[in-house]
Amino acid sequence: MPHRFVIAVALLAALVAPAAVWAADMEGKLHSVDATERTVVLDNGTKLWLSDAVVVDALKEGAEVKVSYEEKDGKPVVTTIEVK
């Protein structure tokens, strides 16, 4: 009986693991800001999509920023952005 429980828990963990959110931080200078598409491009060429929680009006090209983002639907989506 315990053997079946261990297998069931392992299978459940394997199913839930892909749903875990992958998050990261990045710093750089804003190369461009597109309010219509809700995207920013950093000076290193990284394109990031902005979540609805991020206020686009406060972002200006040339600003040094620190962003926190998560992978969603294969895209890096900014959850928070701090202008330095």
7 token code pair = 């297998």
How far apart CA 52 and CA 79 sit, in angstroms, is 8
List pLDDT tens digits, range 8-30: 555 545 555 554 456 799 999 99
List pLDDT tens digits, range 53-69: 999 988 999 999 999 99
DSSP 30-65: EEEEETTTTEEEETTS-EEEEPTTS-GGG--TT-EE
User: What CATH architecture applies to the domain 21-83?
Assistant: Beta Barrel (2.40)
pTM score, two decimals? 0.73
SS3 sequence, 10-31?
A: HHHHHHHHHHCCCEEEEEEEEE
